[in-house]
Structure 1
Amino acid sequence: MRLVKVVVDIPLNREFLYLPGKFENKISPGMRVLVPFRNQKKIGWVVGFSEEKEGEYKEILKVYDKEVLLTPELLELSKKISDYYFSSYGEALSAISKNLSLKTIHVEEKEIKERKYYKTEIPESLISSIMKESFTKVFIRFKKEEVKEKVYFDILASIKDGSAILLFPQIYRAQKYYEKFKKYFGENIIFFHGSLSKKEKTALWLRMLKGKNLIVIGTRISVFSPLRDLKLIIIDEGSNFSYKEKQTPKYDTFKVAEWRAKDRGIPLVIGENIFSVGEYYMVKERKIPVFEFPREKVIHPPIQIFHLRKEKMDNRLPFFTRETAFLFEQTLLKKGKIGILHNRKGIPEFIMCEICNYKFLCDKCNGLLIILNNKKVMCKLCNTEFPFPEKCPQCGSRKIIQKTYGLEKIKTTIQQNYPSLKLVKKMDEDGEIGEFNVLLAAKSIERIIEEVEFSLLIFVNGDMFFNFPDYKAEEDFFLFVNKIISKVKNEDCKIIIQTPNPYLTIYKSLKENKPEIFYEKEISIRRFLLYPPFTNIIKIEIEGKKVERLEEKARKIEEYLKREKIFVAYSGFSYPPLKKGKYIYKFLIKTERIEDVREEMEKLKEDFSVSIDVNPERI
C-alpha cells in the first residue's frame, strides 16, 4: 500500500506520511484531508505519494474533496512560493485554499457560450505581442485613466479561445470593471475576491475548475484562479503596494503572476499610470515593449510648488502659504470643489526648530518628540523620555517651538474661519462622502478623484508623505502624485504641493513633468547603496512585550547570522518600534540571489520563530 504525502499549515517545511486506509482509491494530489497530527487533528493537503516504508503510520481520517481542488499547476506554484518567500509548503497551500468551504458545494451548471469576437481599435502590434504562444511581458502606460477601460476590454475581447485573469489592487476597482464588462461577456465573467463568503468562493472556484473561456476579474487572490485554459494575465498597477500579502507567505502578486505566465508560456500584460523605479529600470535595461494610451499627446494639470516658510504663511490659515490661501479663497468664490491632502490624521504635537523646520526625533526609534513639560520631551511612539533640547542640531538656533499639525486641526481652523462651508474628512476608501465644498483626506482620495471634479488640490506638506526611514518613501509619494494627475477629471484643476524643501529632485521632476529626472536619481542612489532592483532585501522580524527578552533573542539571532557569514545591513528596533503593545526588532539582509540564503533562513525560522519578508513594501 502506498503512503500518502500530506502537508499541514505549520511553519515547519516538511511532508508527513500517512496510510490512506479506506480512502486508497479516493485520494489524489490537490485534495484536502483530515489527519491526526501529534495530539490533535489537522486539515492537510495531499501533495503526492511514497512507496511504503518500514515504520508506524497513522491513517487519514477524512477526505473532504470528491475531486481535485488544487491543480498540478497550483501545487507547483505553491512550492515556488514556499521556496522563495521562506514559508512552509503547507502555509503556501493554505494561503490559496484555506478559505474554501470544507462542505460539498453543489454548483449550478451554467451554459458557457463561446465568446463573441469583437473588432478592436488597439494597434495590431499590441495584439500580436499578447497573442504569442510564449511567455512575454508587455507594459501599457495609460496617460489618462479614462482610456484604461476601453483598452482592457479590447484586449480581453481579442482572445478567441481560452481564459484570462484581470487583477486589480482594490475591490472597488475590480467591481467597477466587472459590472461594466458583464454586459458584454455575460456568464463567461467571474468576480473573485477575498471578501466573498466561503460558500460563494468555493462555488466560483469549482466553476473555474470546470469551465473554459472565462474572464476572471478580481483582487490579488485571483492570481491563483484554477483555470485550465489560461491564456493571458493582466495586472493593473502592478507596482501597487496592495498586491503584497501581509500574512505568511508574504508573496508579491506581481511576482506570482510572472511565474504563472512564464510556466504556462502565456503573455503577462502590466497596465500602469506611472512606472515604479523598478519597472522603469526593467523597461530600459531589458527592452520590454511599452504601448501608450491615448496615443496622442495629453496635457496634464500643472503642479505648483510653494515654499513653506514662516514669513510666507497666511495669518488666518497658518498651514497654508499666502499664495495657497489666495487660491483657496478664489476657488471657493467660484464654487469649485477643493481637496486637501495631508498625511497626518489627528492632531500630533511635536517640537521643531522655528528657523529651519528641523523636527526633533527619538534617538531610539526615530519617532517624533512631543512636549511633556518645560524640562522634558517624550517620544510619541516608544514613550522614551529625554531632556528638553537646548538648541537645534541642524542650524544651532535656540528657537524650539511646539507644532500642532493634523487634518483634524486643519478642519477645525477652516470651519472657524468659514462656518458656512461643508467640510468632510475621509480617511478610508469605504462609505459615501455626500455633498461637500472641501474634502480633507490622505491617500484615500485616490478613489474619489475618479468620481468628483476638483478645481483645486492642495498637499499641505509634501514631505510628510515620505518623511520616514524607508528607501521607497519618496518613490511612493512620486507614484501617488502621478496617479492623482492621471485620474483628475477636471483638466483645469490646479495642483499645489507645499514643502519646506522645494529644491528636492522629486519636486523638480513633478513640477517639470519629467519623470526621468526622478527615476535616474533614484536608480543612481540604489545602484550605489545596493537596493532593489540591484539586489534583494530580506527583512527578519521578532516581537515581544519585554524589551530585555527581545534584545536577548536578537543577540542570539545576530550571532547565528554571523556564524553563517550572512551580512546584516541593519539591526535594531523597527519603525515604529511598538505595535499593538509589542516591541518589534528587525534585521535587514541584502542578497543577490534568494536561493543563496534559503537553508539559513529556513533554519532561522524553525529555531527562532521569526517573521521573514522578501523585498518588503516597508523596510
Structure 2
Amino acid sequence: MLRYAEVLLDVANRRLDQSYHYLIPEHLSLKIGMRVLVNLQNRKVQGLVVGLTSDLPEELERTPLKPVLEIIDEHSLVPPDLIELAHWLAKTTLCSMAQSLHTVWPLLKGKMEKRLFLLASPKDSDVQTLRWLNEEAFRGIEVLARTRNNEISRNLFIKRAHISEETVEMLIQQGMIREGYRFISVGVGQRRETKVHRPQEYSERTFALSAEQEAAVSAVMTSLRVGLCETILLHGVTGSGKTEVYRELIAQVLSRGGDAILLVPEISLTAQVARYFQAQFGENVIILHSGLRAKEKIQAWEEILKGTKRIVIGARSAVFAPLANLQLIILDEEHDGAYKQDENPKYHARDVARKRMEQVGGVVLLGSATPSLEAYAAAKAGKIRLLTMSRRIGHSQLPPVEIVDMRKELMQGNRSIFSKVLQQKLRERLELGEQAMLFLNRRGYSTFVVCRECGYVVSCPNCDVTLTYHSQGQSMRCHYCDHQEQPPLTCPKCGSRYIRFFGQGTQRVEEELQVLLPETSILRLDFDTTRNREAHTMILESFRRQKASILVGTQMMAKGLDFPNVTLVGVIAADQTLNMPDFRAKERTFQLLTQVAGRAGRSEKAGEVIIQTYTPGDSAIEKASHHDYEGFFWEEIRYRKGRKYPPFTHIIRVLLLHDKEERVILGANSLGTCLNERMRDPKFGNTDLDILGPAQAVLARLKNQWRWQISVRGIYLEELREFLHQGIRDFFKTSASNGIILNIEVDPLTN
C-alpha cells in the first residue's frame, strides 16, 4: 500500500517552493494530479499530489509527518503530461511551482473557503428537541438541510439563517454540523474522456499551392508520418503564402486524426485569423487567449477537454491548450517579442511548444519573413530544419523601397512630418482610388513636454519616464502605469511660460495628415484607439472595406495584415527603434521595417514604400530597403559573436524591486556578493560565467517600484541556471532579501 504523498503546495513563496511529504490516511484514496488540503505552518493550504510512494527519502525517515486532511475534488485531475510540463517550466524559468502550475493549468485558480457540512437529520429526535428549546439552532439545521449537498459557506450560512456565531459553535460541539474547508475553483478541471478522432477529409481546397508551398507542406508532413519530433523554420518572404501552408498542414493533420495549435503574436489578430480557418474547418476551431472573460476561458477549456475542438488559435497562452492528440504547433511571426511572457513565469511560447512536442512526438513549425537571429542561426547550424519560400504567390512582387533623408528635407525648409516625396506619393495613390498605410511606432501626440528656459521635462511621479502628451482629452499620460495629468501652463520648476511639445506620435501624424489632405478619410490603429474589446477588428474591417483611404498605426499594423488595395506604405521615423539601449535594436528595426514594407503591393497592383530617416546610411535600414534578410543576418551575427551576445551565449537577468531605493540597492549588492562568492566554488570557478552588475535598470522606477538588476552570462544554459539558483538560495538566507521582489528572466528580449 502506498503510504506517502508528495505534495506541491500552492504558495507563491520561494522559500516554500518545494514538494513536501504527507501521510496518506487509510480512508483516503489518492491519485497523482488530485488537489488536497494539507497543513503548513499552522494554516491550511491547497496542494497538488505529484507523487505516491511507500518509501520516504532517508532524511525524512525519522521525521513525524502530518496527514493529508482531505481531498478537495476527486474529479479535478491535472493530466500527468501537464504536471511534467509544469515541473519543466518552473525549473527552466526559475519561478515557483505554484506560478508554473497556474500558468499550465489555469483551472486550478480559486480560493479556500470555510464551509459547514450537515451531519444530523432534521428528523432526528435531538434536532426535533431544538424546535422547542433553541429555535435559532433548529432554524439553522433547516436552512442547511435545504442547501445543495447539505453544505454552505460559513459566512453565507450565518447571513441566510440569521444565526449567531455562538449558536454555530454550539451546533459544531454537539456534532450536528461539521466545519471544514473547500477549495472553490473558478471552473472545473476535469479532463473528460475524449472522443476518438476518426480520420476525416479536410484537405479539399479551393486554392492551388505554389511549388514552394507544396514543398514546405510535404517536408513537414514527412516528419509527422515518420514520427520525428522536430522543429522546422519556415522562412518565407512577406506575401509568400505562409498562411495557406498552415491551413493545408492543419487539414492533413486533422485527416490523420491529430490536433493542432496555431499561435499568433497578438490577441487582436486571433479573430481575423480564426475566421480564415473557420471557413474550411468550421466548428473544429476555437479561440483561446488571456483576453477572454473568465466564463469564456472555462467554456473554451471544457470544449477542448471534451475533444469537440481540435484546432486552437490564439496568442501566447494558447500553447498550453490540453488537446488530446496534439501533433502540430505553429508559431506565426515567430520573431515577435510578444511570444515572451513578461510576468512570472517568463516563458517563451517557442520553448514550451518544443517541450510539448518532445512529450508527444510532433512538429513545431516556426514561420516568419524575418526570423529571430537565434532561430535562423540554429537553422544554419543544423540544429533545426530550414524551409524557404523566396517568392510571393501569384503575380505580386516585393515592393521597391525609397529611403528619404530627413536631414536634407529640413535643410530645404520642409519642417513637416511628411517628406515632399511622401506627400506627392500619397496624392498620386489617392487619385487612383488606392490605399496607403503610414507607420510610426509611438502613440500619442508629442513624445515629451519640456521647458525651454531650464530644461525641465514633465515626468511620471511613479515611473522613471517622461509623460506623453495626448491632444484628445488634453492630457499627459504615462504609458506604463497610466498616470494622467493636465499639461502645465508654466514650468513647475522655474515658472517659465516657455513650455513646448517635442517629438511626434500617431495622434499627431493623424491630425497633420488631415490638414494636408482635408478631404481624405483616415483611421488610426494604436493602443489608444483599440482599448475597447472589438475596436481593433472594427477599424481593420472598415479599412478593408475601403471606408478610409489611409491607415495610421503603430507596430500593431505590421503583423499579418493583407489588404489588396494598399499600394503605398510610409514609415514616418525609422530611427525610433534603432536608438534604443538594447543590443537587439538593429534586429528589431530591420524586422519592423521589413514587415511594414511587406504590407504594400500584395495583389496584382504594384506597391511601393517610403522610409523616412535621419540615419539613411544605417545598415539595418539599408538592408530592409532591399528586403535582404540574409545580408542583415550575417552582418549582425558577426557583431553578436564579437561581443558575446546571444545566440553565442545565454543571459539570465535578475531584476530586484522594492518601493524604497536604499533597500533595493542593498539587496542588489547583497545578491552580487552571494553570486561572486559562489564563483569560488570549484564547480563554477573555472567556467566562462560572467556576472554583469549590479546596476540600475534602464527604467530605474516603474509603478512606484525601484529597480536594480544583475545579469549572469555564459555558454551553457543548464550551468547558468544551477549557478544562479544556488546564488539566490544564498541570498534568501540574508536579511537584505527581506521585502525584495525578484523577477528572473532567461534570455530577456529587452534591457
TM-score by length of 2: 0.70
Aligned residue among 25, 28, 31 for 1:24: 28
Counterparts of 2:418 and 2:639 in 1: how far apart (Å)? 33
Which shows bigger deviation, 210-219 or 604-613? 210-219
Counterparts of 2:264 and 2:392 in 1: how far apart (Å)? 26
Counterparts of 1:15 and 1:147 in 2: how far apart (Å)? 48
Structure 2 residue 160 is the aligned partner of structure 1 residue 37: no
In the other structure, the counterpart of 1:15 is 19
Counterparts of 1:202 and 1:133 in 2: how far apart (Å)? 32
Instruction: Give the C-alpha shift of residue 402 in structure 1.
Output: 8.2
Instruction: Give the C-alpha shift of residue 126 in structure 1.
Output: 4.3
Q: How many residues align?
A: 583
Instruction: Give the C-alpha shift of residue 306 in structure 1.
Output: 0.7
In the other structure, the counterpart of 2:149 is none
Aligned residue among 472, 477, 482 for 2:589: 477
Tell me, yes or no, if the aligned pair for 1:84 and 1:594 is still in contact at 8 Å.
Answer: no
Instruction: Give the C-alpha shift of residue 48 in structure 1.
Output: 0.9
Counterparts of 2:402 and 2:625 in 1: how far apart (Å)? 6
Which amino acid in structure 1 is aligned with residue 590 of structure 2? F
Aligned residue among 100, 114, 124 for 1:92: 100
Q: Percent identity?
A: 24
Indicate the SS of the match to 1:465: coil
**Residue 150 to residue 305, structure 1, CA distance change in 2 (3 Å):** same
Instruction: Give the C-alpha shift of residue 82 in structure 1.
Output: 1.4
Instruction: Give the C-alpha shift of residue 524 in structure 1.
Output: 0.4
Which amino acid in structure 2 is aligned with residue 523 of structure 1? I
Which shows bigger deviation, 193-202 or 214-223? 193-202
In the other structure, the counterpart of 1:615 is 747
Structure 2 residue 382 is the aligned partner of structure 1 residue 282: no
Instruction: Give the C-alpha shift of residue 144 in structure 1.
Output: 4.2
In the other structure, the counterpart of 1:568 is 691
Counterparts of 1:186 and 1:21 in 2: how far apart (Å)? 49
In the other structure, the counterpart of 2:77 is 68
**Residue 578 to residue 99, structure 1, CA distance change in 2 (3 Å):** farther
Deviations 1:374-397 (A, max 9, x none): 244448577799xxxxxxxxxxxx
Structure 2 residue 52 is the aligned partner of structure 1 residue 59: no
Instruction: Give the C-alpha shift of residue 134 in structure 1.
Output: 2.0
- Written as runs of structure 1 = structure 2, the 5 A alignment for 1:342-491 is 342-348=440-446, 371-378=450-457, 380=459, 403-428=502-527, 431=535, 432-433=538-539, 434=542, 435-446=547-558, 449-451=561-563, 453-488=565-600, 489=602, 491=605
Counterparts of 2:6 and 2:717 in 1: how far apart (Å)? 27
In the other structure, the counterpart of 2:624 is 510
**Residue 222 to residue 414, structure 1, CA distance change in 2 (3 Å):** closer
Which shows bigger deviation, 314-323 or 460-469? 314-323
Tell me, yes or no, if the aligned pair for 1:338 and 1:439 is still in contact at 8 Å.
Answer: yes
In the other structure, the counterpart of 2:345 is 249
Instruction: Give the C-alpha shift of residue 506 in structure 1.
Output: 0.9
Deviations 1:341-392 (A, max 9, x none): 2223234466xxxxxxxxxxxxxxxxxxx6435244448577799xxxxxxx
Tell me, yes or no, if the aligned pair for 1:235 and 1:271 is still in contact at 8 Å.
Answer: yes
Counterparts of 1:554 and 1:306 in 2: how far apart (Å)? 46
Counterparts of 1:480 and 1:417 in 2: how far apart (Å)? 26
Which amino acid in structure 1 is aligned with residue 592 of structure 2? F
Tell me, yes or no, if the aligned pair for 1:274 and 1:482 is still in contact at 8 Å.
Answer: yes
Counterparts of 2:198 and 2:307 in 1: how far apart (Å)? 11
Indicate the SS of the match to 1:573: strand
Q: Which has the larger radius of gyration?
A: 2
Which shows bigger deviation, 50-59 or 245-254? 50-59
Structure 2 residue 131 is the aligned partner of structure 1 residue 127: no
Structure 2 residue 430 is the aligned partner of structure 1 residue 303: no
TM-score by length of 1: 0.84
- Written as runs of structure 1 = structure 2, the 5 A alignment for 1:597-612 is 597-605=720-728, 607=732, 608=737, 609-612=741-744
In the other structure, the counterpart of 2:199 is 114
Indicate the SS of the match to 2:377: helix
Counterparts of 1:87 and 1:383 in 2: how far apart (Å)? 27
Which amino acid in structure 2 is aligned with residue 38 of structure 1? Q
Instruction: Give the C-alpha shift of residue 112 in structure 1.
Output: 5.6
**Residue 183 to residue 167, structure 1, CA distance change in 2 (3 Å):** same
- Written as runs of structure 1 = structure 2, the 5 A alignment for 1:572-583 is 572-583=695-706
* Greater RCO structure (CA 8 Å; 6+ sep): 1
Deviations 1:287-331 (A, max 9, x none): 744334476776211111111115546756522333233323433
Structure 2 residue 214 is the aligned partner of structure 1 residue 214: no
Instruction: Give the C-alpha shift of residue 521 in structure 1.
Output: 1.2
Which amino acid in structure 2 is aligned with residue 82 of structure 1? A
Instruction: Give the C-alpha shift of residue 209 in structure 1.
Output: 4.4
Counterparts of 1:188 and 1:439 in 2: how far apart (Å)? 33
**Residue 223 to residue 110, structure 1, CA distance change in 2 (3 Å):** same
Aligned residue among 158, 168, 183 for 2:252: 158
Structure 2 residue 227 is the aligned partner of structure 1 residue 139: no
Counterparts of 1:232 and 1:383 in 2: how far apart (Å)? 43
Which amino acid in structure 1 is aligned with residue 40 of structure 2? F
**Residue 420 to residue 311, structure 1, CA distance change in 2 (3 Å):** closer
Deviations 1:91-122 (A, max 9, x none): 21121123457354797997965322536852
Q: What are structure 1's unaligned runs of at least 5 residues?
A: 351-369, 386-400
**Residue 214 to residue 310, structure 1, CA distance change in 2 (3 Å):** closer
Which amino acid in structure 1 is aligned with residue 747 of structure 2? N
**Residue 114 to residue 176, structure 1, CA distance change in 2 (3 Å):** farther
Instruction: Give the C-alpha shift of residue 538 in structure 1.
Output: 0.9
Which shows bigger deviation, 264-273 or 123-132? 123-132
Which shows bigger deviation, 591-600 or 375-384? 375-384
Counterparts of 1:79 and 1:169 in 2: how far apart (Å)? 25
In the other structure, the counterpart of 1:590 is 713
Which amino acid in structure 2 is aligned with residue 59 of structure 1? V
Tell me, yes or no, if the aligned pair for 1:212 and 1:229 is still in contact at 8 Å.
Answer: no
Which amino acid in structure 1 is aligned with residue 68 of structure 2? E
Tell me, yes or no, if the aligned pair for 1:234 and 1:270 is still in contact at 8 Å.
Answer: yes
Aligned residue among 594, 606, 612 for 1:498: 612
Which amino acid in structure 2 is aligned with residue 225 of structure 1? A
Counterparts of 2:331 and 2:300 in 1: how far apart (Å)? 20
Counterparts of 2:447 and 2:106 in 1: how far apart (Å)? 44
Instruction: Give the C-alpha shift of residue 448 in structure 1.
Output: 8.3
In the other structure, the counterpart of 1:553 is 667
Tell me, yes or no, if the aligned pair for 1:131 and 1:267 is still in contact at 8 Å.
Answer: no
Deviations 1:485-512 (A, max 9, x none): 3444454232111111111111221222
**Residue 310 to residue 549, structure 1, CA distance change in 2 (3 Å):** farther
- Written as runs of structure 1 = structure 2, the 5 A alignment for 1:135-214 is 135-145=229-239, 147-159=241-253, 160-209=256-305, 211=307, 214=310
Indicate the SS of the match to 2:654: strand
Indicate the SS of the match to 2:646: coil
Indicate the SS of the match to 1:238: coil
In the other structure, the counterpart of 1:388 is none
Which amino acid in structure 2 is aligned with residue 95 of structure 1? T
In the other structure, the counterpart of 1:393 is none
Indicate the SS of the match to 1:482: helix
Q: RMSD in angstroms over aligned alpha carbons?
A: 3.3
Counterparts of 1:560 and 1:68 in 2: how far apart (Å)? 40
Instruction: Give the C-alpha shift of residue 517 in structure 1.
Output: 1.8
